[in-house]
Chains A and B, each alone.
Chain A
């Protein structure tokens, strides 16, 4: 007789036959094998209920299984032995279909158990290892995995991934993801959020906004404009899993400068008149203020670059009270002082803005918001003042001279606006190059690249090209071709394809394209599945993004409305990684080495783009092709492929797959050739792209070369580009530049100390030197 069973953890439990029959009932329900009999028994108004037929049959099978175990002499069976016996019992009693569904049920339980174990291992790793040891904790370099909140985020993120893999993804998508055929990005936010959004600050500021912690009124000077811009980015970060981009930083901040100038001009006019006339503030202030208010109502205001209409009208009116010479003097004084004060206030505002974006927290305090700002083409004097000061404060660095990590700055380049000598913003382009040569930002985007220019309408900043974060681009709009703009739109989700694996598996080019098509369709279906989940979310789930009207048309929705219609303006993107390795696997050479490979590369990526366009048409949505940035992903794919296919030279022999369509980083090539080879891929990857150039040494010593590269980017049709160079800093003496083994300023080598006397001596030479901790 069986009295006890052994559980998986080794404990012995009293035997209960009902547990076995319960599992068998589930299997019968799944197979439907007893359906006919149950129906028949119902029709006969059997005294036994139909459920009882089910349970009595199940009990019979269970008893049969127990009999089998006893016959085999298993008096303390374990779970596996019981399940084996049930399987056999079902078959032998003639319930073949139910036996099959029981086996499936068993397999599913095993899978869940294994994944649960894996989750526990993951959670243990998060709990007990430091970020230095744990690759997992370093997955996102901008989240500090060692802090309490960083760890809490990681628990949530890993558990959520686990849940979605088990419960929400279609099995074929889940399998393709976990086996590394594809990568579903930001899986931890699968049912919650969209990726990113381009925030139209001008619209947001117009009526003020609510962060969820109180209403912020329309800002009243450049300092509050900049402060509110940072708060908007922070608030929006909590409603999305990607980054926040400001597409119109120059245009939006210019409004703040205008207001600041007007106020400053008024107060300086009052000051001047007090000094020149000897009258009191009480006598002067109300007169000037009243005059300015009346003039403003007639559309006349003081402007950074003085406008005749205002100057003349003000002179005429003031001359009724004061003598003409006094008025003229006062005007000159007020203009000069207001300009200087506004310039200073703007610098401080930009300094605080950058500082805020590097120190403010979102997501439970563990992460600085991912922020990008685009600017460069607004030629109004107020916007130029904003850009100049933003660039100058970026060049100076944060408090201790550190390079700011955020925001990602993107300087928009256009012929006739800023690229060439004589262009109104040419001075700012030069300055942008100088600052980027020191601080790695700004990056450069190119409005004249044909695929960007096609959307541009002069006088409509919303049609200027914008990039988000590391590369995302949203401008075309198949869903609503009348709204081909950047404002209020973003990416919904993206999934990347492991291209090298297809090449390794298929070997021939023909078969490669066949398998690629299958994979593209799989990803498209998966993106649509996710889109359906996202569509059911409501405005209230995104209190800032949707609740404050940041996302396009969301202001037309109510709190309880679903967002399905308005998010159709967003993009669904298919990404790819490792074109270089793919080409090596197919032809033996990557596109940096061979023209034939370049041709094939363009054919592959062109084919993927065609697929996206076709899907957009078919589904009435915006499918786009992304040159995946490879965050956390390139290592995962190659690790799995190494295991599957072994080390293949030029394909799986490194720890990473090459970023999107890039020429491999280890390949020696000139900057110009690299850019010329990569530019045609920019035209194809409409969801986003970037090309990098690596420069040796300190490019601030060779600004001509730096500028030459940026100009070449414009010439060959790069859409978005950036130049990398070493930016080192010695926290002890504050030197920023290239540091080899020895710091060129204080002469110490890594880890070595210098004396207090030496620090004092250096401070005389470099008064701006930061105070190192512990130094008086």
Chain B
């Protein structure tokens, strides 16, 4: 295998998941307090 195939990137790097809570966008749910996190998890989608 070539060096470029052996060189790996992204180990331990998560996806950013932007969510809006109480009006503000935050790049990661980690920075929400517990209540807000629970609210985000409970959300159901609305049918159109």
Contacts and interface: CB of A to CB of B under 8 A. Distances in A.
Interface of A: 131-132, 135, 138-139, 141-142, 402-403, 405, 408, 440-441, 469-471, 629-632, 634-636, 638, 654-656, 659, 665-672, 674, 690, 692-696, 705, 708-709, 722, 724, 726-732, 739, 743, 748, 750-757, 759-760, 772, 774-775
A753 B20 contact: no
Contact of A754 (B2, B9, B23, B34): B9
B10 A748 contact: yes
A656 B18 contact: no
Given A655-B34, A757-B4, A774 B17 contact: no
Nearest to B23: A470
Contacts of A471: 23
B33 A635 contact: yes
Contact of B35 (A131, A655, A729, A732): A655
Given A403-B18, A755-B6, A759-B9, A656 B36 contact: yes
A693 B46 contact: yes
Interface string B1-18: 011111111111111111
A666 B43 contact: yes
Given A655-B34, A695-B46, 18 more contacts: A132-B30, A138-B32, A138-B33, A141-B26, A142-B24, A405-B25, A629-B22, A629-B23, A656-B35, A656-B36, A671-B48, A692-B20, A727-B17, A732-B9, A750-B14, A751-B14, A753-B11, A760-B4
Interface string B35-48: 11011001111111
A728 B14 CA distance: 10
Nearest to B37: A655
A690 B36 CA distance: 17
A670 B48 CA distance: 6
Given A724-B20, A753-B9, A142 B26 contact: yes
Contact of A694 (B2, B3, B45): B45
Identify the interface centre among A665, A671, A754: most chain B CB within 10 Å of its CB: A665
Nearest to A639: B35
B18 A728 contact: yes
What 8 pairs between A and B have smallest CB-CB spacing? Answer: A470-B23, A635-B35, A753-B8, A655-B38, A756-B7, A671-B46, A732-B10, A696-B45
Contacts of B17: 726-728, 739
A718 to B, nearest CB: 14
A376 B12 CA distance: 42
A402 B44 CA distance: 25
Given A732-B9, A755-B7, A666 B44 contact: yes
Contact of B48 (A135, A708, A731): A708
Nearest to A656: B35
Contacts of A674: 46
Nearest to A145: B31
Which bracket fits the contact residues of B?
35 or more
Nearest to B25: A405
Given A655-B35, A732-B10, A743 B15 contact: yes
Contact of A659 (B12, B22, B24): B22
5 contacts: A654-B42, A669-B46, A672-B48, A724-B20, A729-B15
B9 to A, nearest CB: 6
A630 B22 CA distance: 7
Main secondary structure of the interface of A (DSSP, over half): loop
Interface of B: 2-27, 30-36, 38-39, 42-48
A724 B19 contact: yes
A645 B34 CA distance: 21
Contacts of B45: 694-696
Given A709-B48, A754-B8, A731 B24 contact: no
A696 B45 CA distance: 6
A1 B35 CA distance: 58
A449 to B, nearest CB: 19
Contact of B33 (A139, A696, A705): A139
A142 to B, nearest CB: 6
A132 B27 CA distance: 14
Contacts of B30: 132
A708 B4 CA distance: 48
A213 B23 CA distance: 32
B18 to A, nearest CB: 4
B44 A665 contact: yes
Contacts of B12: 751
A744 B6 CA distance: 22
Contacts of A654: 38, 42
B9 A774 contact: yes
Given A131-B31, A665-B43, A755 B4 contact: yes
Nearest to B27: A405
Nearest to A774: B9
A739 B19 CA distance: 13
B41 to A, nearest CB: 9
Contacts of B14: 750-751
A636 to B, nearest CB: 8
Contacts of B36: 141, 634-635, 656
B11 to A, nearest CB: 4
Contacts of B26: 141-142, 405
Given A408-B23, A694-B44, A757-B2, A739 B15 contact: yes
B34 to A, nearest CB: 6
Contact of B23 (A635, A690, A695, A732): A690
Contacts of A138: 31-33
A535 to B, nearest CB: 29
A131 to B, nearest CB: 7
Contacts of A405: 24-27
Contacts of A753: 8-11
Contacts of B47: 670-671
A727 to B, nearest CB: 4
Contacts of B42: 654, 665-666
A618 to B, nearest CB: 31
A471 B30 CA distance: 24
Nearest to A472: B23
Contact of B32 (A141, A665, A696): A141
Identify the interface centre among B18, B35, B46: most chain A CB within 10 Å of its CB: B46
